[in-house]
Chains A and B, each alone.
Chain A
Amino acid sequence: MFGAIQFLNGLSYGLSLFLVAAGLSIIFGVLRVLNFAHGGFYMLGGYVAYEVVRRIGMEHGLFWVAVIVAGVVLALVAAGIERFMLRQLYNRDQIYQLLFTFALVLLIGDVVRIFWSTTALSVSFPPELRGAQNLGFTIYPRYRLFLCVVGVVAAVGLWLLFQRTRWGRIIRAATQDREMLSSLGVNVPMVYLAVFAGGGALAGISGALAAPALALRGGMDAEIIVECFIVVIIGGLGSLWGAFIGALLIGQLRAIGITFVPEWEIVLIYLLMIVVLVFRPWGLFGKKQAGS
């Protein structure tokens, strides 16, 4: 039972992490922008959900309204950022885009501080998913099981999107050759906008979903972005499959680490990152790039 619980701990942690890291990976794959502000989107999603819950309560079904609102708000915010700010920087050196997304981190942090102060805030579990579920071989919190399901559904959904739909084909083409795509008559700027907004929405939704299980406070953006970076380094930037496997690996390493070598738990994860960087620097599922 203990092994089952720790395995499920690692699994739920990994799948929640995947939800956030997927957006980061896809944004990089298409726009070639490493979005430092992704952690800020996650944090903002959590706070927006808190605000909605504060106003409409937590009766049956209302938490999902908060999650959807968080997604919509973040999609709009991300779209606005892409259309009016990031777009100006595509023709410039990559460093400007990096600096810009970093500036966004500080900006979003301050916005959160202004509206919600620095006190730690709490959102309850939705009543539909409180308590623990008896799985036969062990009992496990319902909400975390739900997050596992969401993670898997998101992974499958995104895979289907990219592999089986026209939109997906266009996005995949954009990662490979944007000039060719443009000359084929596709509105590439629109694709960029959609991907950035979509990635932002995904981050916002994962922040809202994560909120009941933790405390909302300053610094959670820095915390999550570091984890996301490790995921995409290990899994490979731009690869959905890489983000999935990378996140799951980190989740399990953490659970195993805390159980068997508690003082070295954090080291295990960084060790894996170093090993990957030494032997396969483009990540487990990344593509070897000729120039960069």
Chain B
Amino acid sequence: MTKSYNALLLLGVTLLASTVAGSALAQEGEPIRVGVAFPQTGAGASQGSDTALGIEMAIDEINANGGLLGRPVEMFWRDSKGTPADATIAARDLITLDNVDFFLGGYNSGETLAMSEVALQEEVIYVAPVGKTIQLTDNYHPYQFRIAANTNTEGGSAALILEELGAQKICTILFDYAYGHDLLKGFEKALESAGSDAEIVTQVWPALGVSDYTPYIGEVLNSDCDGVFSGIWSGEFLAFAKQASSFGLFDMGKHWAAAGEVGSQDIMEQLGADMPNGIWTNSYEVWYYPDTPEHNAYLEKVRELTGSEHPNPWPSVGYIGMQALAAGIEAAGSTETDAVIAAMEGLSFDSLVGELTIGGEGDHQANRGQYWGVTADSEHPFKVLDEVRYVPADDIMH
């Protein structure tokens, strides 16, 4: 009789405790649960891991400074594997199995759009630190916030640079899928806004994933363009750059703006001397610019964590995403979803790249610009970007 009474008491207390724990009014010390869905396996594994590392760094800093709203932040990481289907599963599991209050994720556009869908269905805030596709903000709903620069910003920045360089006739080399077409839209929009009289005379559209670009290179060689806008990103640029170099395409004096973050440290290292000089390209972050106390403090930590003297920019991407979320929670004074949404709309916060402002209702896009520079030799076994500048997004992101 005593046994079953004790069991009943225990059951009752457990039930009571779990109800209290699950309520929105959490007690002091109850951790804030942040989910992270990036690839741990598959093609984007190393970038996904580095991005998650950046988020972890930001969280460790927050916890070292007393947590968020006095509460510790706990990170849960699931493998999105680089595909929309697995990304959906990862996001859903984070929400239903790990009970996260918020989540960040999405390495490529497909993943990003899939996770946004989950956020809408589950009514949990989703912060996208990487995904650029304009379709995210085109399909707006209140639960998503994009901290990454979008394709309008990327295409627009390239347009502004080519305009500055004085290109009159432009060739475009863009992948024939959403990202490539979105880039072109952003590029053309910015050219028009700038009142440019430059025109696009040749467009080539390589399929995503080809390894032989030579027929497309042939078309550009045959064109009379004096400027080129390419969107051959990251790993794909390795093959393209080598092939184009061997045709002497980069020695023809054409102004070149390469979107797709090929100024990234990891790409610079892989290509080494095969990276052409004199092309303008972007990177999420470069370790050699800017020389500010905040950037240097970040670099010190990243160098320690990765063991690399010249870290790649992926941790910074995750780091800034977490900074945005943390700022939103602080501003809301609670972890309640609607409160945080309201707080984040129009919020200005300090980030690694300076002050960023998140768009209001109907937008939720941070005015994140990009670092652009021109490739040049260095004393290292890899090239670097010279004349690095931050191209602001405010005029081109919409």
Q: With A and B bound together, what is the CA distance between A223 and B131 in angstroms? A: 26
Which residue from B44, B204, B239 sits with its C-beta under 8 Å from A213?
A: B239
Which residue from B43, B248, B274 sits with its C-beta under 8 Å from A139?
A: B248
Q: With A and B bound together, what is the CA distance between A274 and B239 in angstroms? A: 31
A122 and B247 contacting across the interface, CB-CB below 8 Å: no
Per-residue interface assignment for chain A, residues 171 to 186, with 1 indicating a CB less than 8 Å from any chain B CB and 0 otherwise: 0000000000000000
B205 and A120 contacting across the interface, CB-CB below 8 Å: no
Residue on A nearest B248 in the bound complex, by CB: A132
Binding stretch for chain B, among A23-31, A87-95, A251-259? A251-259
B43 and A214 contacting across the interface, CB-CB below 8 Å: no
Closest chain-B Cβ to A254's Cβ sits at a distance in Å of 7
State whether the Cβ of A215 lies closer than 8 Å to any Cβ in chain B: yes
B214 and A119 contacting across the interface, CB-CB below 8 Å: no
Binding stretch for chain B, among A70-78, A140-148, A159-167, A197-205? A140-148
State whether the Cβ of B212 lies closer than 8 Å to any Cβ in chain A: yes
Which residue from B44, B209, B273 sits with its C-beta under 8 Å from A223?
A: B209
State whether the Cβ of A262 lies closer than 8 Å to any Cβ in chain B: yes
Q: With A and B bound together, what is the CA distance between A204 and B218 in angstroms? A: 28
Residue on A nearest B274 in the bound complex, by CB: A124
State whether the Cβ of B215 lies closer than 8 Å to any Cβ in chain A: yes
Known contacts A217-B43, A266-B207; A125/B215 CB under 8 A: no
Q: With A and B bound together, what is the CA distance between A5 and B248 in angstroms? A: 13
B271 and A122 contacting across the interface, CB-CB below 8 Å: yes
State whether the Cβ of A219 lies closer than 8 Å to any Cβ in chain B: yes
Interfacial residues of chain B within 193-223, with CB under 8 A of chain A in the complex: 204-205, 207, 209, 211-212, 214-216, 218-219, 221-222
State whether the Cβ of A220 lies closer than 8 Å to any Cβ in chain B: yes
**Inter-chain residue pair count (beta carbon < 8 A):** 103
Which residue from A117, A141, A262 sits with its C-beta under 8 Å from B247?
A: A141
Per-residue interface assignment for chain B, residues 219 to 251, with 1 indicating a CB less than 8 Å from any chain A CB and 0 otherwise: 101100000000000111011001100111000
27 A–B contacts from the bound complex (CB under 8 Å): A2-B218, A2-B222, A5-B221, A5-B222, A6-B215, A9-B215, A10-B215, A117-B45, A118-B41, A118-B45, A118-B46, A119-B46, A119-B235, A120-B238, A122-B271, A124-B273, A125-B246, A125-B274, A132-B247, A132-B248, A139-B247, A142-B246, A213-B243, A214-B242, A215-B211, A254-B215, A262-B205
Interface residues of A (CB under 8 A from B): 1-2, 5-6, 9-10, 12-13, 117-122, 124-125, 130-132, 139-144, 212-215, 217-220, 223, 254-255, 258-259, 262-263, 266
Given contacts A6-B218, A122-B274, 17 further A-B contacts (CB under 8 A): A2-B218, A5-B218, A5-B222, A6-B215, A119-B235, A122-B238, A122-B272, A124-B274, A141-B246, A213-B242, A214-B239, A215-B211, A217-B235, A218-B43, A219-B209, A258-B216, A259-B215
10 interchain residue pairs of minimum CB distance:
A120-B235, A141-B246, A215-B238, A258-B215, A2-B222, A214-B239, A9-B214, A214-B211, A215-B239, A122-B238
